Structure 1
Amino acid sequence: MLRVLSTHLFLNQRLHPGLLELAARSGAQAVEIFAARQHFDYTQREDVRELCEWFRSNELQAFSMHAPMFPDREMGRAGAPSVNVIHPEKSRRIDSMDEIKRALEAAEQIPFKNLIVHLGEREDSWSQRTIDYAMTALEHLGAFASALGVRVLVENLTNDVTTPEHLMLILELGHLDNIGVCLDLGHANMTVGIPEAITTLSKRIVSLHVHDNHGLKDEHLWPGDGTINWKATTERLNTLAAPPAAVLEIGYTLGDQPAAIPDRIRAAYNRLELI
């Protein structure tokens, strides 16, 4: 498995080369860049160019980018609407697609190969409408991303739209053969369970979001700090035909001391027997 660190861990800081160097020193082979404007402003040429130049001269890979969840620098706290490509209002869907495409354009300089996309928010429900909007969004984003050499990966959330069974139905009904899945283990632990999620999504899984929780809240804890059975999870993952990339996606509000972060990252990869 490719060891990947999501920059979600540093979401309250501007993404700069020093943080990428910390990831490399911690045993990560690649990073997933979290596209939030206060962290990485994908609309600013200077910010994009800075990362582009760093990746050119370093071994750490840019594996993926997480699509933006809000179009502002406050993660919606100031009232900005969320990025939701299946929103009932057409104008919201269009604005959301435009925001994701702005982030995707960074692939012209930063060589990431995958884009992680959310379908909806917590309250979005399963219906023919959401099926249609989801298929349309993924088809459109898939075509736009493909021209940039990027593959779209859709993530299982905790809403009814993105259960493993429903995700597979969307992908199969839409004949979206070029769309993969990012299996979020923490979200699976809160919903159908990790074993069922792996079984249902197996042939589509390209990457994992690795974090822990207690089954009720999306806590983004370090592996081992929640209730996920990591030994059983690793054994089940080893049955997949191709090993997915393991993207460590830890919460930025946990308050870890900077000096302790490299050891915690290495311990997390060891828990999945990746080293």
Structure 2
Amino acid sequence: RYKISIASLHYPLRGENIWLSHSFEKYLGLCESIKTKVMVIHDEVPLGGVEPYGKSLREISEIARKKNIKIALENARTNPYFLLELLEYLGNPDNIGIAYDLGHANIQLGNKEVIPFIERAKEKIFHIHLHDNNGVYDEHKIPGQGIIDYPQVIEKLKNFKGYGILELSWSIETDYAIRKSLENLKKFGLCNS
């Protein structure tokens, strides 16, 4: 009726052992039922380091592949370059990539490295989280109200075939936040209508 498509489903952050493949299978089934092509998960590295993480991701990758769903690892707490190393460790599977959170990257890498990461990882970025901040705090401001160079980000994301979402603070009035974000993104060259 409303012709709304859901760009992604974010895997639950709390309450489940996210490294159990049967837990993932349940949420991948939900993705399938709502016709979502990307499941975003935080980059939590379990006890034991990369090897058990890699083993779990390989299992999850196979389940997701059968359902034609991509897994996007978000740079929530980890430097996004670690995600590239992890993907290399996994053999660069075609259905596991990165959910590049621009605000988190601005804090993790520093403002001058946000765009070079896009240049290096563009083919592995499946999903983008759009928000802004001052480079110190994860403020989830409207794009253009912090220090991220959004016109340059948009330029580097030309021909990006993934999905993007606004991820804004709950303290901003919703209608204003959406209206101002779209206005800024149009000004930066991302939105046409």
Structure-2-length-normalised TM-score: 0.83
Deviation track 1:71-123 (CA, whole Å, cap 9, x = no partner) reads 3xxxxxxxxxxx565xxxxxxx43xx5544332221342110110111217xx
Q: 1:271 offset after TM fit, Å?
A: 4.3
Q: 1:171 offset after TM fit, Å?
A: 0.9
Does residue 66 of the first structure (1) align with residue 10 of the second (2)? yes
Does residue 183 of the first structure (1) align with residue 127 of the second (2)? no
Give the residue type in structure 2 aligned to 1:68: P
Q: Look up the match of 1:138.
A: 57
Give the residue type in structure 2 aligned to 1:189: N
Seen in structure 2, the aligned counterparts of structure 1 residues 133 and 139 have a Cα distance that, compared at 3 Å, is: same
Give the residue type in structure 1 aligned to 2:25: K
Unaligned runs of 5+ in 2: none
Give the residue type in structure 2 aligned to 1:157: A
Seen in structure 2, the aligned counterparts of structure 1 residues 271 and 248 have a Cα distance that, compared at 3 Å, is: farther
**162, 168, 181: which one aligns with 1:244:** 162
Q: Look up the match of 1:215.
A: 135
Aligned-partner Cα distance in 2 for 1:250–1:186: 10
- Runs of 4+ more than 6 Å apart: none
Q: 1:175 offset after TM fit, Å?
A: 1.3
Aligned-partner Cα distance in 1 for 2:80–2:23: 26
Q: Look up the match of 1:16.
A: none
Q: 1:268 offset after TM fit, Å?
A: 4.3
Unaligned runs of 5+ in 1: 1-56, 72-82, 86-92
User: Are the counterparts in 2 of residues 62 and 112 from structure 1 also a CA contact under 8 Å?
Assistant: yes
Q: Give the count of matched residue pairs.
A: 187
Q: 1:242 offset after TM fit, Å?
A: 3.7
Spell out the pairing of 1:88-103 with structure 2 (5 A cutoff).
93-94=19-20, 97-103=21-27
Q: 1:204 offset after TM fit, Å?
A: 0.6
Aligned-partner Cα distance in 2 for 1:199–1:211: 19
User: Are the counterparts in 2 of residues 66 and 115 from structure 1 also a CA contact under 8 Å?
Assistant: yes
Structure index of larger Rg:
1
Aligned-partner Cα distance in 2 for 1:203–1:138: 19
Q: 1:255 offset after TM fit, Å?
A: 3.8
User: Are the counterparts in 1 of residues 7 and 38 from structure 2 also a CA contact under 8 Å?
Assistant: yes
User: Are the counterparts in 1 of residues 7 and 164 from structure 2 also a CA contact under 8 Å?
Assistant: no
Give the residue type in structure 2 aligned to 1:153: A
Structure-1-length-normalised TM-score: 0.60
Spell out the pairing of 1:72-83 with structure 2 (5 A cutoff).
none
Q: 1:272 offset after TM fit, Å?
A: 3.9
Q: 1:58 offset after TM fit, Å?
A: 3.3
Seen in structure 2, the aligned counterparts of structure 1 residues 259 and 119 have a Cα distance that, compared at 3 Å, is: closer
Q: 1:232 offset after TM fit, Å?
A: 2.0
